[in-house]
């Protein structure tokens, strides 16, 4: 599936020990001029955001493939919402 051009996912990268976890905290909508409107459900303590196209996996419970992860960061980990 091609990358999304209308919206992107916003992550906070949380370091826990030697591991980095990607916490999905909002969405960013792309405007006609290429700028972004960012809507956050949480504010990262580090003050840093990572904004990227959504990665669609056939089975979200499976770990990401090699094309979905980078050598310096852990793959995005999404938490299931209980509300």
The pTM (predicted TM-score) of the whole model is 0.61
Identify which has the larger pLDDT, 29 or 82.
29
Report the half-sphere exposure of 41 (CA within 13 A, side-chain side). 9
Sequence-separated (6 or more) residues with CB below 8 Å from residue 75: 22, 63, 64, 68, 69
Please report, for the chain, the start and end positions of each structural domain, with discontinuous segments joined by +: 1-56
**pLDDT score of 73:** 43
| pLDDT tens readout for residues 19-60 | 988 899 999 999 999 999 999 999 999 888 999 998 776 666
């Amino acid at each position: 599936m091609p990358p999304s051009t209308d919206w992107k996912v916003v992550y906070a990268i949380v370091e826990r020990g030697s591991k980095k976890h990607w916490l999905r905290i909002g969405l960013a909508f792309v405007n006609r001029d290429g700028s972004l409107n960012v809507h956050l459900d949480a504010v990262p303590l580090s003050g840093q955001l990572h904004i990227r196209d959504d990665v669609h996996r056939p089975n979200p419970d499976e770990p990401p493939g090699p094309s979905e992860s980078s050598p310096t960061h852990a793959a995005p980990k999404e938490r299931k919402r209980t509300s």
